[in-house]
Amino acid sequence: MAGEAQDKNWPLPKFYFMVDWGSTTNIPFQEVSGLDIETQGITYRHGNSPVFSEINMPGIVKNSNVTMKKAVFAKDNGFWDWYSKIKMNTIERQNVVVKLLDEGGNPTMTWTLSNAWPTKIKSTDLKSNGNEVAIESIEIMHEGLTIANG
């Protein structure tokens, strides 16, 4: 049939994922955002350059903060327990792994955040007339992002 080879290559859906950090695995997050990395540019021109323009070179790598949101569960203080370990100049750093899964639950793409630590926790808002699930979020900083496929 026409198009069979093409039909086997579909874009990956983004709704089936899993997050692990430290010894805690398969945390049920609703949303993960901020898996960004950027290289800051440096412009330079040396004094005896025969070209009258600047040279652009790569500089320091800048990692974005990653925000993760999940439902609030009874007796689940994982965010607060990790955040409470931050003291002046002492931080419990952990590697955080985000895995995008296929329909069989196998990782197809993996983002690994090195030496991550929580920088902000946001509790749920409360409304007397609301009927939504209570959502809390954590924002983490990290020292490097690596991406692996398959």
Indicate the helix (H) or strand (E) that contains 7: helix 4-7
Q: Which tens digit of pLDDT belongs to each residue from 90-111?
A: 888 999 999 999 888 899 999 9
Please tell me the distance from the alpha carbon of residue 100 to that of residue 27, in angstroms, as a whole number. Answer: 13
For residue 18, what pLDDT is reported? Answer: 93
**Considering only CA atoms, which of 147, 143, 98, 100 is closest in space to residue 119?**
143
CA angle at 104 for the pair 28 and 11, rounded to the nearest 5°: 90
Neighbours of 118 (CB within 10 A): 20
Domain boundaries, the chain: 4-149
Q: Which tens digit of pLDDT belongs to each residue from 132-148?
A: 999 999 999 999 999 99
For residue 6, what pLDDT is reported? Answer: 52
Please tell me the distance from the alpha carbon of residue 128 to that of residue 59, in angstroms, as a whole number. Answer: 50
Q: Which tens digit of pLDDT belongs to each residue from 11-40?
A: 888 999 999 987 788 888 999 999 999 999
Q: What percent of the chain has pLDDT over 70?
A: 94
The token pair at 71 is: 């439902």
CATH 2.30.110.20 fits 4-149, yes or no: yes
